[in-house]
Structure 1
């Protein structure tokens, strides 16, 4: 999957083209998550930046089974049209169906924060290396075993724990030559909003930001010999990671599931979009 397969891009591009609304057809295998994730994410309050301009009036999701029935009612076969859409000459089709949608929204303005700390560099203090991890999860939702708090132990308490651990480690070694920034970003689960806000309002000049190292969903298998780099080959940072892994007698593995588009689904991507070398491993 490329960035253009992401649901965020679908909504943005539809708005650019003047669509009144967008309904995304969910398929578990290419999305790499089930319908239950869509339900938990899209049921309840939805967040967006106040600066957001590319939005449609209606946004929603339906299952593949529901979409198949909808297409059949229009005399089309969903599977065939999906295959046809792979052709660069494919043109959008009108299903010939109509729908009325009435939505009553309650809009609330709130504040959530990215939190950052910095170790000033000793020689090149105006150059920055940023470590990131998102601190949010899904909040409160449908109870599971009488527990309605979605804590996010894996996604992403593991990443924030690493962020704190690395910061603690820097206290015990020789001060770095470049400034080191530790940033816990917010609202990742709502569409990488915290990192998007930072990319639009950077504290440190992007041209002075040497790289960003992102930690999201750290595996808890114990000590491992391999280091998997998500989006291998997209950044010169890969070679630095490879050298570091070899010093630990480990080896680098490219992401084996590129079709799932993980590179475009975490906060480092918003930094990469403004030209900052990014590592997500």
Structure 2
């Protein structure tokens, strides 16, 4: 892809191109003014503004955000709210308005999460009792506050996709759906949905199956996890460790009920379906032979009762955002995001989260300042930009999910999201070679975004762009583990910038003094140049891919 030439010589060509813009043309002096603004952005030298993003400034801001006084910025706690105030004051001081029309603070998108802890939890099947924390785990809210008799139905892999649906002619309204983990393969070993050896979101993200079950009216979905009970225990170990701690998430409401997600052991699934564990494996074999969904021959137990008591209280929190209005293409929007929450205080020790994700947050702040300066100089972007710092990422990407479910600007007008999470450190694979960045997802929805990212790096940054974690079979599942994913699942092209994990990841030792600020500066400048191109090109990038 050709790189953009930001020269005065291109002005005439762009004036001509503007006449076919998707934005209605202005008239008279307004048209001249709009055209002049567009030319100003195109003619500007972006390196002039990228150079305002400095290691010194990044360190200055991070020493505030990752200080002990902010108490680890845990979602809904005092430290997180102090961080929100610091970030919003920074935007205000740099002349960037807040776009939120409701509420007392235009920089805050406020909403309620729910803090909850588990009480008594069990499932009985024909009188046999299975224990929460041993035989099954529940993720998110639970509708079974008191013991309740339920109807169980088997729904294959729990998939509802144009290429493959387990829900055809199956009524699951108000029922508990038992499904297998993963997704079906053909006899040759390729996945039925993708037609390749690449697994998709149905395997990678259990929330996809929960969403499908919710859409079909199910009350809960039980995913059979692991081939054996020992494997189930191994795969759910992190849930066992967290069971005794309060958790934060979205609660169900009467208007927006969510199917409860439960991960169950093979033995419990066998009891629920009146089958042997080997029968569950055989079902997958039968699907592979048929090359399509097949009806299960299981006869689920008619005597199933569930109780998963959840003690709840509301937890107010807020996303922080600032808005830079564009010129002739202002109705289209680029989002530049990070999460500013972290783990808070555990056992009296502050988890400062300098790298995760204080580093990404200060990078977004610096980008905002750079674009604001360009606009002050009459060289602001053609498209608008939303600088979005979300809460609740560490609790399950909650802030970005809330924004994409309740967008301030229409998602149909959102061109792309550039997400920065954990920069300025290096992992063991890059020891002694700090000038790199993992880029994840840039090609999954738009080949043009990927080319723009590559061109920006080749022209300005010369970092090693590492695509290791862009592999759809990446066992770390990083594509699904930061806030860009909530934009991607709505079909919005994304690029995720990430330096990888290290020994201080989610530890109290993730401190400012371990950040390589010159490295973070280079990554932030790469994101700036990518955003500059996205914001100033005449044609909106196309969504022309559907990679997993």
Which bin holds the TM-score, normalised by the shorter protein?
A: 0.7 to 0.9
Q: Which whole-Å deviations, capped at 9, do the CAs of 1:9-62 have from their partners, x for residues lacking one?
A: 2222233444443344556xxxxx964543466642341166672423x54335
Unpaired runs of 5+ residues, structure 1, are: 28-32
Is 1:269 the equivalent of 2:485? yes
With over 3 angstroms needed to count, the CA separation of the structure-2 counterparts of 1:113 and 1:60, relative to structure 1, is same
Change in Cα spacing, 1:82 to 1:99, as seen in structure 2 (3 Å) is: same
Q: Unmatched 5+ residue regions in structure 2?
A: 1-198, 227-233, 427-432, 498-548
CA drift of 1:72 comes to 7.0
- The match for 2:202 is 4
C-alpha RMSD over aligned residues: 3.6
Counterpart mapping for 1:204-243 below 5 A = 204-218=409-423, 220-221=425-426, 223-225=434-436, 227-230=438-441, 232-235=443-446, 236-243=448-455
- Residue of structure 1 equivalent to 2:30: none
TM-score, with length taken from structure 1: 0.74
Match of 1:258 among 435, 449, 472: 472
- Match status 1:161 vs 2:359: no
| Cα distance in 2, alignment partners of residues 103 and 94 from structure 1 | 24
1:113–1:186 Cα contact (<8 Å) kept = yes
Do the aligned partners of residues 99 and 185 (structure 1) sit closer, same or farther apart at CA in structure 2, a change above 3 Å counting? same
Matched-pair contact (CA < 8 Å) for 2:444–2:493:
no
Provide TM-score, normalisation by structure 2: 0.42
Measured in 2, the distance between the counterparts of 1:55 and 1:181 equals: 29
Aligned mate of 1:38, from 229, 239, 254: 239
2:316 to 96, 104, 111: 111
- Matched-pair contact (CA < 8 Å) for 1:8–1:191: no
SS at match of 1:266: coil
Kindly indicate whether the alpha-carbon contact (under 8 Å) linking 1:229 and 1:280 is maintained by their aligned counterparts in 2.
yes
Decide whether the 8 Å contact of 2:439 with 2:495 is kept in 1.
no
| Aligned-partner SS, 1:108 | strand
SS in 2 for 1:101: strand
Separation in 1, partners of 2:404, 2:355: 25
Per-residue displacement from partner, 1:133-189 (whole Å, max 9, x unpaired)?
122344566x4xx63x55544433332232223224435555432332210112234
Larger CA Rg, structure 1 vs 2? 2
Is 1:170 matched with 2:374?
Answer: no
Which deviates more, 85-94 or 261-270?
Answer: 85-94
Per-residue deviation, 1:95: 6.3
Tell me how far 1:131 sits from its aligned partner. 0.4
Which region of structure 1 is more displaced relative to structure 2, 70-79 or 255-264? 70-79
Structure 1 stretches of 4+ moved >6 Å: none
Deviation string 1:100-155 (CA, Å, 9 cap, x unpaired) is: 332333332332111101233355444322101122344566x4xx63x5554443
Structure 1 residues 72, 151: closer, same or farther in 2, change over 3 A? farther
**Contact between 1:136 and 1:156, CA under 8 Å: does it hold in 2?**
yes
Tell me which residue corresponds to 2:293: 89
